[in-house]
Amino acid sequence: MKIAILTIGNELMSGRIADTNSSFIAREANLQGWSVEAMLSVEDNFAAIKSRLNYLLTLTDVVICTGGLGPTADDITTEAIAQAFGLPLYTDEKVLNHIKGIFTQYNLVWIENNTKQAMFPRGAEVIANPVGTAAGFALQSAGKWIFVIPGVPRETQKMFPEGVVPILRREFPENEQYIAKQTIKTFGLGEGAVDKTLADVDFAALGVNIGFYPIFPENHLVLVSRQTTKKAAEEKLKLACDEVTARLNKYIFSYGEKTLEEIVADLLKEKKLTIAVAESCTGG
C-alpha cells in the first residue's frame, strides 16, 4: 500500500508553524510496513487543495490529510474535498451533540459556526476525536481512500493510530504485518564509524531494516523487522540485535528509549552515589 500525506494550512505555507504531522504520520506508517510515497503542504485554498489531492491520488492508494477542520472561515478542508468529489455536505447530529456537550462541560458560549465541525461529505465514515472538537472522516473514491484529521499535533497523534490505522488495516488486510522494533543507543563513535563497524552485517538478508539517527554526541540505531507472524518478527529482530551488540557492545548505553541522563541517574542510585555540579557563570 502506498500512502501520501497532505498537510493543509496557511500557517504552514507562511512558515509560521512547522509541519510536525508529516514526520509523525510517516514514522507510524513505516512501522506498519506501509510505504510513504510523497508529502506535500498546501494553503487553505479550494483550487490548490483539489489540485494537490488529485495529483497525490495518481501516485498512491491512500492520501492522509491534516488541517483545516476548525470553525473559522479559513478552515475549508471538508468543503474543498466534498467539492473535489462532487459530494454534498451533511450535518452529523451525533457529532454535533458531542461538540455541544464539550462546550457545556467547560461552560463555553456556543457560537453557531462550530456546527461546521460536525459537517461531512455524504458517504464519509466519521473518525472520532477523543481529544478535541473536530472529528475527522474517511472517504473512498474509485478504489482510493482519503482520510482527513485535524492539524493540531496532539489530535493528529491520537487520531492517526486510533482512528486511521484500524480502517487501513480493515480495508487493506493483505498489507497487514507484524512489527518488532528496537532502538539501540551508542556513545563514543561517530556516525561514519558506526556505519563502518556494521558494514559486514547483511541486515536485508536478516529481514530487518536499520536506520541511523545521529543525535550529537550520541548515535541511535533503530532496527525494524516486519514479518507475517509476531514470532518471526521477534526472531529476526533478535538476530539483528545480536549482530549489532557483538560489534558495538562497549559503545552501547541503552536498548530502548531511556536517555543517557536517565541511565547515569539509575547507575548513581544503584551504587548509592551522589553527584555535584558546579557552573561557572561569566555574567554575560
Looking at residue 144, what is its pLDDT? Answer: 95
Q: Can you list the alpha helix ranges (DSSP code H) found in the chain?
A: 10-13, 21-31, 46-59, 77-84, 93-105, 153-159, 165-171, 191-197, 203-206, 230-248, 260-270
Residues of the chain with CATH 3.40.980.10: 2-175
Q: For the domain made up of 178-270, give the CATH fold.
A: Alpha-Beta Plaits (3.30.70)
Looking at residue 279, what is its pLDDT? Answer: 77
Predicted confidence band at 283 (pLDDT cuts at 50, 70, 90)? low
Looking at residue 284, what is its pLDDT? Answer: 57
Q: Can you list the alpha helix ranges (DSSP code H) found in 93-152?
A: 93-105
Mean pLDDT of 1-29: 94
Predicted confidence band at 282 (pLDDT cuts at 50, 70, 90)? low
**Residue pLDDT, tens place only, 132-185:** 999 999 999 999 999 999 999 999 999 999 999 999 999 998 767 788 899 999
For the cut 90, the answer to whether the pLDDT of residue 99 exceeds it is: yes
User: Is the domain defined by 2-175 classed in CATH 3.40.980.10?
Assistant: yes
Looking at residue 251, what is its pLDDT? Answer: 97
Looking at residue 112, what is its pLDDT? Answer: 94
Task: Tell me how crowded residue 221 is: count the other CB atoms within 10 A of its CB.
Answer: 21
> Are 125 and 167 spatial neighbours (Cβ–Cβ below 8 Å)?
yes
**Residue pLDDT, tens place only, 210-248:** 999 999 999 999 999 988 888 999 999 999 999 999 999
Provide the grid cell at 87.
459530494
Residues of the chain with CATH 3.30.70.2860: 178-270
Looking at residue 177, what is its pLDDT? Answer: 76
d(CA 31, CA 233): 12
